[in-house]
Amino acid sequence: MNAVRQIQQTGHVTRGQLGVQVREVQRDEMAELGLTRPGGALVNNVQNGSAAAKAGIRAGDVITAFNGSEIVHSSDLPPLVGAMAPGSRAKVKLLRDGKPLELTVVLELLNDQVAAAPDGKPGKGPAASDGNALGIVVSEMDATTRSKLDLAPGEGVRVSRVENPIARQAGLTAGDVILQVGKMPVGSVVAYNAAARSYKSGDKVRLLVRNADSTGLVTVLVP
């Protein structure tokens, strides 16, 4: 999950951490995100168990204000978060599918473990899919793996092989779990393949991906 700006400050001062990675909203993403104009900070990745995750912030949300300060560019957010101490409460205004939402977060102590790209290991699940329009081969997940990733039964498919070079460059790797293709949840190889077939060559597809550290977005170009 590259091309993101990590919400993390350096130095020895005790600072709060939100536990997200954000980037600018691109114009060609506005319709899918339900936006009428660019702006805000697109949440590209949410660290599992972080302050953001506990507050209900999701990958794909667009943060428009943090504790009363407007977020025009993604670069506006890190200094606002870093200026607050761990344990501080902050109001976060965001847009989710174009609808406004306000959440309260309790910032946590900054650490160096905010995840970026997924680093899972190849899965050994049965019933791997054949090559498909996205160039990403997936397999069914077992109950043990779902439990480790705090997923519900019937949620997600495991990546077995990444054949699409753009997906590899974006950070997708074997062992990651795909939860959504576009806005379609996938919980089986059949569902994944059906979702993948709905796209044609040249389309951009946003995948919601989870690994042991975080849940985030990976955008791939259909070959």
For residues 145 and 180, state if they share a domain.
yes
pLDDT of residue 110: 65
Helix (H) or strand (E) holding 165: helix 165-169
For residues 156 and 103, state if they share a domain.
no
Mean pLDDT of 93-116: 79
For residues 204 and 163, state if they share a domain.
yes
Residue 16 lies in a domain: yes
Range of the domain at 23: 5-109
Report the percent of the chain where pLDDT is more than 90: 55
Residue 124 lies in a domain: no
Tell me which of 7 and 173 has the higher pLDDT.
173
Last residue of a domain, one of 53, 74, 109: 109
pTM: 0.75
CA within 13 Å, CB half, 116 = 11
Tell me 152's DSSP state: -
Which CATH number characterizes residue 152's domain? 2.30.42.10
For residues 105 and 13, state if they share a domain.
yes
How far, in Å, CA of 103 to CA of 66, rounded? 10
Type of residue numbered 178: I
